[in-house]
Structure 1
Amino acid sequence: MISVNTIILMTGILLLLGIGSSKFSTRIGMPMLVLFLGVGMLAGSEGIGRIAFEDYHFANIIGSIALAVILFDGGLHTTLQAVQTSWRAALPLATVGVLLTSVLTGAAAAWILGIPLLHGMLLGSIVGSTDAAAVFSTLRTSGLRLSPRVTAILEVESGSNDPMAIFLTVALISLIMGTANSFSEMILFFILQFGVGSIVGIGGGFAAVWLANRINLDYPGLYPILVLACGLLIFGVAAVFEGSSFLAVYLAGIVLANKSLVYRNGILQFHDAAAWLSQIVLFVMLGLLSFPSRLTTVALDGLIVALVLIFIARPVAVWLSIFPLRLNLRELTFLSWVGLKGAVPVTLATFPLLAGVPHSQLIFNVVFFVVLISAITQGWSLAPVARWLRLGIPADTTPPITMEINALRHVDGEIVEYRVAANSLVADKTLRDLALPYDMTVTLVVRDDEVIMPRGSTVLKPGDKVFVAMRKKIKPLLDCLFDTCAEPLILHPGERIIFRADHTVRQLCTLFSLGCQQEVQDTLGSLIKDTQLSAPYRLGPFLVTPGTDAKLVTLVYSPLEISTLNISNQPIPQITPETDQAHNLS
């Protein structure tokens, strides 16, 4: 029997190998989950490590916990805007798309493997869903920033399609083993999976926000653990009431991501680390669970099943599910290709083994081989395909970092570190020439190893680290000011932004990409003074109104013909007084 100390030693070695392989993965562009699986296979009973591991029940438990942490972290990085943008496409893909993929793949698998149709359909159901762990990991390490809509669809689909895959898998196991209940009870189980999972996830997310913001812990380091405990509790409660635990924990993460939360930055960093640890443990463990000699016996059949899944089932499911939504051809093609498989199918493949389903070992081996093929082909090709379809740009490797300050726990303020991008609006400009909102202050500039105290004459150079104190509501605008917007910045009617009165019209036109006349040099204060007795001045879609004192003005987003402003790519023409309601903002 292996001693505890030996287990700890092997765990440390495997974690170090997993972390080291992530560095190697970045250099060669291979998805990290493939290398993590490779580390596990090398350490397994048929590899150089000779670690004997074939406990499917234990693997199922560890896999479920790891997936819960990964999905929770995925939800914590999903904005409400992304959900609003993607749900019309993500929901059909997570339901109808999974069903179509499962049926097409299952029918092919039954014929290819020579097994009964229900067993083939069981295999198809296991590999029918897009895997969240694989998608989140591959997107973050691809080196690309995909279009916001495609990223949102992929993330929301992969985070919400597990209930359908679990329902189909459990239902087919019941049919094969002769333990299936009535059709109405199966439909009730399906409704419980989605309904209870959604209710527990959303309700639990709001409860977690309330608890974290009001518990007032003495040690800030406990807040990330508190939030993780809430996530695991939500996962367990959903399971107890027969809902989808995976959907519940993902939705809870989304709620937490879009509410005001104390020590947000520390919580996000902790859960990023927890998700990475979970991915390493999960994929290395699944690698240990595999036997290369068994995989070679199903290699040809598994390859054919994988080709059917990748080139026929997934594309057909995507086109039939979301073609009516009028996505463009490039987006449909990319979504058809990136139906990544990962830990969820392998974890689901343990269900038939635990239930004693005939042909379950064959199903497990084929599923594992299909996952390997999907990860290598689809995961490795994600970045090249995105570039070929012109759906991605190089990602910024240094996203803005929010400083954690105890005094700012319950107030509307934070300090953020930005790195000036070469193509940003602030690059090579002095601070006095920038139209910076009043609700922010540049507090420090770091250039190489030199600390610069900011003055009006300070020039911001590409690569500078700029520390900014701000009110939280204007952070999305500043994200676009210091770098290209990761997602289009949307302003809604009635939103207000305060500026100094001595800023010129030209400066504001540059900030918001407004199509103003080149010679406009009037200050905002002069516009207020000149129009006190007449109609307010219109600056594109904004009304220029007095601020709280004579040194300030307020820009109120008040469009005439559009409901929102996409600042990142929608230029607005010409400044005109608001003299009538027929002004054209085309």
Structure 2
Amino acid sequence: MSSTDSASVFSILRSKGVLLKENLRPTLELESGSNDPMAYMLTLILIAVIQSGGMSVPQAALMLVLQLVIGAIGGFLFGKAIVWLVNKIDIDNASLYPILILACSFFTFSVVTLAKGNGYLAVYIAGLIFGNSKIVHKRSIGTFFDGFTWLWQIVMFITLGLLVNPHELIPVTHIGLFIGVFMILVARPLSVFISLLPYRNFSWRARAYISWVGLRGAVPIIFATYPLLAGIEHAHVFFNIVFFITILSLLVQGTTVTYMARKLKLIDKPALKEEFGIELSEDIRSVMSEIDLTPAVLAHGNRLMDLKLPDHTLAVMVKREGRYFIPKGNTVLKEDDKILMISDDDKALLESYKELGVKKYTFKKNE
């Protein structure tokens, strides 16, 4: 039950148009991605202990170390190999790149698992390396896997739901409620506050929010099927308890994700929506920015040439009432126009925004 589902948390927040302060999003995503491999290993160790009639502490420790070390090394090596392969191979049909990466993910999981390593950890680390590397068609690949992830979450919940008979949940209600409430109110907050003791940059409100949004998803239910497949005694009862606790977590924590963020004053101002939807190649180090024209900005003059922009800066395109056009120096600008800027000097561009009174703008730069 230790696996959390940050994707569900951010789906709920996104549907409400809520952004979080204090760098909480990457923190929750890191936790969600890293605790799945540990939960997987603990599940396998406990199943092995039950099946063998007892596993010694040295054996369990050796298995844990091997799973972590082989999984981490395998994930790193395969991640680098996948980056090299995707950038090296030239596929005429760009839509086949996500299929290639998907095949590489299955291959990584299979090889590392056969080598007695943790396949989940390997795929996670390979994904971290791949996602933070310079690759071709990065935006289209990311869009594909975003939709692919949601598709399989839906499929998982439907499939796992078919394994449950509602009347079988009634006998486990009392123990499910006890464990669920204990995890939500005691175990989760205690583990979070202890784990975050070295990190002084998190306020008590952020720590409290992280404690509350330990939302359970499909992964604990999937792990609960392992004892079923292994033929462990009372495995069906374990599965029903895990399913009950997951539903309880979704009902209690899932429905209060936005409320708690508002109550703890952790809601950040939403970022300005990008209107042009243009991505620069990672090889281009220029900054791309979109600005909204207000009366304060137009007070400096209503023509493009009247706006004092730094050198090496271009006003590439204007959006006005749903229409896009390329401006000239004498183009007359109007209130609520949106201008796409590209500049080689990001600091000078920000200074010019201050002088012009530009308050609403986006700012994107390849590092």
Cα distance, 1:331–1:297 mapped onto 2, change above 3 Å: same
What per-residue deviation string (whole Å, max 9, x for no partner) do you get for residues 438-497 of structure 1? 2x6333222233233223455475574x55567xxx7xxxxxxxxxxxxxxxxxxxxx75
Task: Look up the match of 1:448.
Answer: 321
C-alpha displacement of 1:348: 0.7
Residue in 2 that maps onto 1:507: 352
Residues 1:261 and 1:332: Cα distance change in structure 2 (over 3 Å): same
Q: Does 1:385 align with 2:260?
A: yes
Alignment match, 2:43: 169
Shift of 1:359: 2.1
* Alpha-carbon distance in 1 for matches of 2:274, 2:250: 27
State how far apart, in whole Å, the 1-side matches of 2:112 and 2:130 are.
17
Which residue, 284, 288, 306 being the options, matches 1:412? 284
Q: CA deviation at 1:329?
A: 0.8
SS in 2 for 1:218: coil
SS at match of 2:116: coil
Taking the aligned partners of 2:231 and 2:216, their CA distance within structure 1 comes to: 24
The equivalent residue for 2:72 is 198
In structure 2, relative to structure 1, the CA distance for the partners of 1:428 and 1:341 (3 Å cut) is farther
Residue 305 (structure 1) aligned with residue 150 (structure 2):
no
Deviations 1:303-331 (A, max 9, x none): 22211110111011112222242332101
Distance 1:360 1:448, change over 3 A: same
Partner of 1:39: none
Provide the alpha-carbon RMSD of the alignment: 3.6
Q: TM-score, normalised by structure 2?
A: 0.82
> What do the CA deviations read for 1:398-427 (whole angstroms, capped 9, x no partner)?
45775479xx6x8537997x765699x989
Q: Say if 1:168 and 1:365 are closer, same or farther in 2 by CA, change over 3 A.
A: same
Counterpart of 1:331? 206
Residues 256-335 of structure 1 aligned to structure 2 (within 5 Å): 256-326=130-200, 327-335=202-210
Aligned mates of 1:511, 1:178 — CA distance in 2: 73
Give, as a single letter, the amino acid of the residue that structure 1 aligns with 2:352.
Answer: Q
Write out per-residue CA displacement over residues 346-372 of structure 1, whole angstroms, 9 at most, x where no aligned residue. 001111111222221111111101001
List aligned pairs for 1:393-412, cutoff 5 A: 393=268, 395-396=270-271, 398-399=273-274, 403=278, 411-412=283-284
Higher relative contact order (CA 8 A, sep 6+): 2
In structure 2, relative to structure 1, the CA distance for the partners of 1:426 and 1:173 (3 Å cut) is farther
Structure 2: distance between partners of 1:208 and 1:179: 41
Q: Distance in 2 between the 1:284 and 1:437 partners?
A: 57
Measured in 2, the distance between the counterparts of 1:388 and 1:219 equals 49
Distance in 2 between residues matched to 1:334 and 1:205, nearest whole Å: 33
Question: Residue 314 of structure 2: SS of its match in structure 1?
Answer: strand
Identity %: 35
Please give the alpha-carbon distance, in whole angstroms, between the structure 1 residues aligned to 2:140 and 2:95: 8
Deviation at 1:338, TM superposition (A): 0.9
Give the aligned partner of residue 214 of structure 1.
88
Write the distance in 2 (CA, Å) between the matches of 1:459 and 1:258: 39
1:330/1:389 contact within 8 Å kept: yes
Match runs of 1:94-133 below 5 Å = 127-133=1-7
Instruction: Indicate the SS of the match to 2:94.
Output: coil
Query: Partner amino acid for 1:412?
Result: I
Distance in 1 (alpha carbons) for counterparts of 2:299 and 2:107: 50
**Per-residue CA shift, 1:33-76, capped at 9, x if unaligned?**
xxxxxxxxxxxxxxxxxxxxxxxxxxxxxxxxxxxxxxxxxxxx
SS, match of residue 216 in structure 2? coil
Matches within 5 A, 1:56-71: none
Instruction: Report if the CA contact (8 A) 2:318-2:327 is conserved.
Output: yes
Kept in 1: contact 2:188–2:214 (CA 8 A): yes
Q: In structure 2, how many angstroms separate the alpha carbons of the residues matched to 1:376 and 1:427?
A: 50
**Deviations along 1:478-529, whole A, 9 cap, x unmatched?**
xxxxxxxxxxxxxxxxxx7585xxx8x962755999xxxxxxxxxxxxxxxx
SS at match of 1:311: helix
Distance 1:261 1:427 in 2: 40
Structure 1: tracts of 5 or more residues without a match: 1-126, 475-495, 514-566, 568-586
Structure 1 residue 185 displacement after superposition: 2.4
Number of aligned residue pairs: give it: 354
Report if aligned partners of 1:445, 1:452 keep a CA contact under 8 Å in 2: yes
Residue 359 of structure 1 aligns with an amino acid whose one-letter code is: H
Q: What secondary structure does 1:444 align onto?
A: strand
Taking the aligned partners of 1:510 and 1:404, their CA distance within structure 2 comes to 27
CA distance in 2: counterparts of 1:251 and 1:462, whole angstroms: 44
Q: Could you tell me the TM-score, scaled by structure 1's length? A: 0.54
Contact 2:215 2:254 in 1 (8 A): yes
Is contact 2:319–2:325 with CA below 8 Å preserved after alignment?
Answer: yes
Q: Secondary structure at the match of 2:253?
A: helix
CA distance in 2, matches of 1:427, 1:253: 46
